[in-house]
A = this chain, B = another copy of it.
Amino acid sequence: MPTPTETRKSSRKGPTRSEASKAAILDATRTEMAENGWRGFSVDAVAKRASASKQTIYKWWPSIGAMCVDACLALIPDSPDGGRDPQERITALIVPLEAAARTGAGHAVLRVALSAAADDKDAGELWRAWMNRDIRMPMRMLLAELAGKRVIRREFDLDEAIEEMLGPLWHRIMVMKAPVREGFCSAQAAGFLKVYAAS
Contact = CB atoms under 8 A, between A and B. Distances in A.
Nearest to A188: B164
Copy number in this complex? 4
Contact of A175 (B117, B164, B171, B176): B117
Given A39-B38, A191-B195, A127 B175 contact: yes
A163 B168 contact: yes
Contacts of A124: 177
Contacts of A65: 39
A119 B177 CA distance: 10
B128 A118 contact: no
Interface in A101-135: 111-112, 114-120, 124, 127-128, 131
Contacts of A119: 37-40, 112, 115
Most buried by B among A119, A160, A169: A119
A159 B131 contact: no
Given A38-B115, A115-B118, A119-B38, A162 B170 contact: no
Most buried by B among A116, A160, A187: A160
A171 B174 contact: no
Contacts of A177: 118, 124
Contacts of A172: 163, 167
A175 B39 contact: no
Contacts of A127: 175
A144 interface: no
Interface of A: 37-41, 65, 111-112, 114-120, 124, 127-128, 131, 159-160, 162-164, 166-178, 187, 191, 194-195, 197
Given A37-B120, A194-B194, A194-B195, 6 more contacts: A111-B118, A114-B118, A128-B175, A167-B168, A194-B197, A195-B195
